[in-house]
Amino acid sequence: MKRPGAATLAALIGGAWIAREAVRHSRRMNLQEKTIIVTGGVRGLGLAISRQLVRHGAKLAICSRNRDQVERAQIELAAAGGDVLAVPCDITKDTDVQEFLDRVHSHFGAVDALINNAGVISVAPMQDNTLVDYQSAMDTHFWAPLKLTLAVLPDMKRHRRGRIVNIASFGGLVSVPHLVPYSASKFALVGLSQGLRSELLHDGVYVTTVCPGLIRTGSPRNVPFKGHRELEYAWFTLGDVTPIISVNPDRLAKKIVDAMVHGDAEVIAPWLFRIPAMANAISPTLTSGLLAMINNLLPGPAGNTESQPGYALQSSSHLPAWAQKSADAAAEKYNEL
């Protein structure tokens, strides 16, 4: 039997791509005048997503705990022509969430899409973490998205149309040293998100799981650090501003919105991060060994469970001046100040 030639293989690949794009097009949702919730949509990646949605003509409901950042984001997005409802809200508090949802329904009506973006992160060796760190991460990354999803699903099912986007993390595919509470909670969110997609497809509701690496938003200034705090701040921020291992927020936001529009199952960015994710799935022993080597290069435990935010560590950290300047510029652009 003849083996298929290069032309045949190219035709098969081309045909598969055309079929894939046809399916994506058939699922396309026009975001014009659609009501979309973005939790944490006032800064960082959330703000980048909100900016994209305003360009698409969506009706936007955003929330965050920080009242000043909420107000600044609303002013910016409204000035760009957005129809925006911005509300101070702690998504880990049921009463806050209910009040927020009530305001969304009275202002816009039924929710067409939910983007579970709000997040917390702490950086420390696991020995310097406490149960509170794990509880906070799970409350924000698992319980809050689950409760919000359950709240908006009845309308989506009734209309047989909806989108849910869960902003998980590469840390939800591969557990990263010194980020164990964060990774554990993001693994939970990935499992929830993938399971929801399978069960909601027949209702016309498409769930997208997003697993990015570090994102260049300047967020380390607001991250709590424990252990050898100045050293932890330095390595984390250096990674955050390095293009090879971090991603541009605007390009990522555009990918996320495109994936939501077309009902895609997953977004992993940067693309190269698919390699360690696949390696971990195929050979977790090898991957954990490599991660253990990385852990040995990071600061050791200090027996110090008191945290300090990044902005309090900038002057005493070992971070190169160029990296700090880059982080500060990103923080200003993405409302992290």
Digits of tens for pLDDT over the chain (337 positions)? 456 677 776 777 777 667 677 777 678 999 999 999 999 999 999 999 999 999 999 999 999 999 999 999 999 999 999 999 999 999 999 999 999 999 999 999 999 999 999 999 999 999 999 999 999 999 999 999 999 999 999 999 999 999 999 999 999 999 999 999 999 999 999 999 999 999 999 999 999 999 999 999 999 999 999 999 999 999 999 999 999 899 999 999 999 999 999 999 999 999 999 999 999 999 999 999 999 999 999 999 999 999 999 999 999 888 999 999 999 999 999 999 9
User: What is the DSSP code (8-state) at residue 305?
Assistant: -
Q: Which two tokens stand for residue 43?
A: 């800064």
Domain 28-333 sits in which CATH superfamily? NAD(P)-binding Rossmann-like Domain (3.40.50.720)
Hey, which bits of 168-237 come out as E strands? 205-212, 214-215, 224-225
Q: Is 182 a catalytic residue?
A: yes
pLDDT confidence of residue 113? 99
Angle subtended at Cα 266 by Cα 174 and Cα 51, rounded to the nearest 5 degrees: 105
Q: Pick the catalytic residue: 182, 206, 233, 334? A: 182
The residue extents of the domains of the chain are 28-333
pLDDT confidence of residue 24? 75
Cβ distance 80 to 51 under 8 Å? Answer: yes
pLDDT confidence of residue 42? 99
Helices (H), 108-218: 131-138, 144-159, 180-200
Q: Ramachandran region of residue 174, left (φ > 0), alpha (ψ -120 to 50) or beta?
A: beta
What percentage of the chain reaches a pLDDT higher than 90? 90
Token pair 């330095």 is found at 234
pLDDT confidence of residue 19? 66
